């Protein structure tokens, strides 16, 4: 009997996970192991890439045992990964020459400032679709080449290999045979021309990165003959699907046609809008990124990030102490009919898209003697929806397309109050799927599509099912009035550091 299961490796920022999906797209097993977060200096965030490898291997074994399957029962492997985290390792030994620099790391902020001052951001943005920010991999890699003794000469000689976590896992799980990345991950490096679909010599020159250390760029969905293979318990398995975590979630949510959008409500928020087969530059400081490469066809997405979503609720718990558990925020917020005209702007780490204002600071406005912790809790929940609404507005202006619905996932998407308020602000339905494992399923779907377990994107999209639909209830005038007050609160937040 032919293998009818797909293994999805979900290589996240704080844990390694492996899920097994059957041919109906159902989760039949899941395993998770956390790994250590390292903070050696303020603004620095590092991982031990070997620990990531070890935990990922362990979860593969755990998931197969839980599913009572062997590697021979697996049709293909899909990988979704934290995207911009940077690993540099010795090609021969497979050992990293330094800790992995995590996407959250800010050590290269001064480098980005210097490149911006030199007037290079417009050229970089035109080719990459990205803004100059330490978030992306290019300056992280350059830092490693400059600060690890001998690294630059070794990289130029071809002795070192750079990769994001997808590249790292494939290299090690293939026994060192493969050094690849897919186009979605490549598009997050600042080194990749998203229109031409390859590493760009001009960008490599700007960031002083030798081509010899870069992985081969392949598709996100790989048919037989194009896939790369890894070994699990001595059995070779095709890696037929690879995508950065947010692009995997976009695919897993069934957003396969232009105009469809998803938002992930996690620690922060990541909203992606499918814009089709042309890389369209943003006029509102969003990112243009590769959504999928399949064969010779590339799809693109507009992306925006909100820094503080679930993290705002964590601040209520850990900073203010007004709730004991994150789950307590919804009942507390529902204990009052509204915020009492209180607005909270959670700019604790500045503001992300579309403002990109690093100087903004967290602000609460509208407090009176009648304000309570419940009003603050409700304002915190609503602040997440206000930020996402600003993002979606920018996306619609950039794309010229009106949004018909928003598909949602992530931990905070379980908050019904937040989802209803989001629908009210946007004026379109918010759809929460039955399967909340959209990132892992996206990787599995790409892999299953590659090996023919599913015949088409239409068949994959049919596996998506609705758990709850939130219809707008607020009048458009009322929503506009609330958003105008939010803009006033934003102005206070953005003006505080300049006062």
- The per-residue pLDDT for 497 is 61
Angle separating helix axes 109-117 and 121-128, nearest 10 degrees: 110
- CB-based burial of residue 368 (10 Å sphere; 0-12 exposed, 13-18 middle, 19+ buried)? exposed
Q: Quick check: is 352 in a domain?
A: yes
403-427 in b/e form (b: 16+ CB < 10 A) is bebbbbbbbbbbbebbbbbbbbbbe
CA-CA distance, 366 to 370, in Å (whole number)? 11
CA angle centred on 22, ends 75 and 463, rounded to 5°: 115
Q: Are residues 346 and 281 in the same domain?
A: yes
Residue 118 CA to chain centroid, in angstroms?
29
Q: Are residues 162 and 294 in the same domain?
A: no
CATH of the domain at 173: 3.30.420.40
Sign of CA dihedral 123, 124, 127, 131: negative
Per-block average pLDDT, block size 10, for the chain (499 residues)? 84 90 92 89 90 96 94 94 94 96 87 94 94 91 96 95 97 95 96 95 96 96 86 93 95 92 89 91 91 93 89 90 92 96 91 82 94 96 96 90 90 93 97 90 95 91 93 96 96 77
Q: Quick check: is 241 in a domain?
A: no
Q: Are residues 212 and 349 in the same domain?
A: no
Q: Are residues 347 and 492 in the same domain?
A: yes
- The per-residue pLDDT for 498 is 61
Q: Quick check: is 226 in a domain?
A: no
Give the range of the structural domain holding residue 103, as residue numbers without chain letter. 5-218
Give tens-digit pLDDT for 112-149.
Answer: 989 999 999 999 999 999 988 888 999 999 999 999 99
Q: Quick check: is 33 in a domain?
A: yes
- Nearest to 381, CA basis, from 313, 324, 323, 325: 313
Cβ proximity of 451 and 76 under 8 Å: yes
- Nearest to 263, CA basis, from 432, 14, 404: 432
Q: Are residues 264 and 148 in the same domain?
A: no
Cis peptide upstream of residue 446 (ω within 30 degrees of 0): no
Q: Are residues 81 and 180 in the same domain?
A: yes
CA-CA distance, 47 to 342, in Å (whole number)? 39
Helix (H), strand (E), coil (C) string for the chain = CCCCEEEEEEECCCEEEEEEECCCCCEEEEEEEECCCECCCCCCCEECHHHHHHHHHHHHHHHHHHHCCCHHHEEEEEEEECCCCEEEEECCCCCECCCEECCCCCCCHHHHHHHHHCCCHHHHHHHHCCCCCCCCHHHHHHHHHHHCCCHHHHHHCCCEEEECHHHHHHHHHCCCCCCEEEHHHHCCCCCEECCCCEECHHHHHHHCCCHHHCCEEECCECCCCCCEEEEECCEEEEEEEEEEHHHHHHHHCCCCCCCCEEEEECCCEEEEEEEECCCCCCCCCCEEEEEEEECCEEEEEEEEEECCCHHHHHHHHHHHCCCCCHHHHHHHHHCCCCCCCCEEECCECEECCCCCECCCCCEEECCCCCCCHHHHHHHHHHHHHHHHHHHHHHHHHHHCCCCCCEEEECHHHHCHHHHHHHHHHHCCCEEEECCCCHHHHHHHHHHHHHCCCCCCHHHHHCCCCEEEEECCCCCHHHHHHHHHHHHHHHHHHHHHCCC
- Total-model pTM: 0.89
Q: Quick check: is 340 in a domain?
A: yes
Q: How many domains does the chain have?
A: 2
Q: Quick check: is 458 in a domain?
A: yes
Q: Are residues 190 and 285 in the same domain?
A: no
- CB-based burial of residue 15 (10 Å sphere; 0-12 exposed, 13-18 middle, 19+ buried)? middle
CA-CA distance, 115 to 136, in Å (whole number)? 14
Q: Are residues 192 and 303 in the same domain?
A: no
Q: Are residues 282 and 158 in the same domain?
A: no
- The per-residue pLDDT for 42 is 82
- The per-residue pLDDT for 390 is 94
Q: Quick check: is 282 in a domain?
A: yes
Give tens-digit pLDDT for 254-270.
Answer: 999 998 999 999 888 99
User: 171, 189, 218: which is the final residue of a domain?
Assistant: 218
User: 197, 218, 239: which is the final residue of a domain?
Assistant: 218
Q: State phi, psi for 465 to the nearest 5 degrees.
A: -135, 150
CA-CA distance, 388 to 384, in Å (whole number)? 6
Q: Are residues 212 and 260 in the same domain?
A: no
Q: Are residues 134 and 278 in the same domain?
A: no
Q: Are residues 483 and 418 in the same domain?
A: yes
Q: Quick check: is 231 in a domain?
A: no
User: 167, 194, 218: which is the final residue of a domain?
Assistant: 218
Kind of pairing between the strands at 363-365 and 343-345: antiparallel
């Amino acid at each position: 009997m032919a293998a009818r299961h797909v293994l999805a490796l979900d290589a996240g920022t704080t844990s390694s996970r492996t899920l097994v999906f059957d041919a109906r797209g159902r989760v039949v097993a899941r395993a998770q192991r956390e790994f250590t977060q390292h903070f050696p200096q303020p603004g620095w965030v590092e991982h031990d890439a070997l620990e990531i490898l070890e935990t990922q291997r362990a979860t593969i074994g755990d998931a197969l045992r839980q599913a009572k399957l062997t590697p021979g029962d697996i049709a293909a492997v899909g990988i979704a990964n934290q995207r911009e985290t940077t690993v540099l390792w010795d090609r021969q030994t497979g050992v990293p020459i330094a800790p992995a620099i995590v996407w959250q790391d800010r050590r290269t902020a001064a480098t980005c400032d210097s490149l911006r001052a030199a007037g290079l951001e417009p050229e970089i943005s035109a080719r990459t679709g990205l803004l100059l920010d330490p978030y992306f991999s290019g300056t992280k890699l350059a830092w490693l080449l400059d600060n690890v003794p001998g690294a630059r000469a070794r990289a130029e000689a071809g002795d070192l290999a750079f990769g994001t976590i997808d590249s790292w896992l494939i290299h090690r799980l293939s026994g060192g045979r493969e050094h690849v990345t897919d186009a979605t991950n490549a598009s997050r490096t600042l080194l990749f021309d998203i229109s031409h679909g390859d590493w760009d010599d001009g960008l490599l020159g700007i960031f002083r990165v030798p081509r010899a250390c870069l992985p081969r760029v392949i598709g996100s969905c790989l048919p037989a003959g194009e896939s790369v293979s890894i070994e699990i318990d001595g059995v070779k398995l095709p890696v037929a699907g690879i995508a950065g975590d947010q692009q995997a979630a976009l695919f897993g949510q069934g957003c396969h046609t232009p105009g469809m959008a998803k938002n992930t409500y996690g620690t922060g928020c990541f909203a992606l809008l499918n814009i089709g087969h042309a890389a369209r530059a943003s006029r509102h400081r969003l990112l243009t990124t590769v959504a999928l490469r399949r064969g010779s066809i590339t799809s693109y997405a507009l992306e925006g990030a909100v820094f503080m979503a679930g993290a705002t609720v964590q601040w209520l718990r850990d900073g203010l102490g007004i709730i004991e558990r994150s789950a307590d925020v919804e009942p507390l917020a529902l204990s009052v009919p509204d915020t009492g005209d209180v607005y909270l702007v959670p700019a604790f780490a500045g503001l992300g898209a579309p403002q990109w204002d690093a100087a903004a600071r967290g602000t609460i406005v509208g407090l009176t003697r009648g304000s309570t912790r419940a009003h603050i809790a409700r304002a915190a929940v609503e602040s997440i929806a206000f930020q996402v609404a600003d993002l979606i507005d920018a996306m619609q202006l950039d794309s010229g397309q009106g949004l018909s619905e928003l598909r949602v996932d992530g931990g905070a998407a379980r908050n019904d109050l937040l989802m209803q308020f989001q629908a009210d602000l946007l004026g379109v339905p918010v759809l929460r799927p039955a399967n909340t494992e959209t990132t892992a399923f996206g990787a599995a779907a790409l892999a299953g599509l590659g090996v023919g377990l599913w015949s088409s994107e239409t068949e994959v999209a049919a596996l998506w099912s609705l758990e709850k639909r939130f219809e707008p209830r607020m009048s458009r005038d009322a929503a506009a009035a609330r958003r105008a007050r939010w803009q006033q609160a934003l102005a206070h937040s953005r003006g505080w550091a300049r006062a």
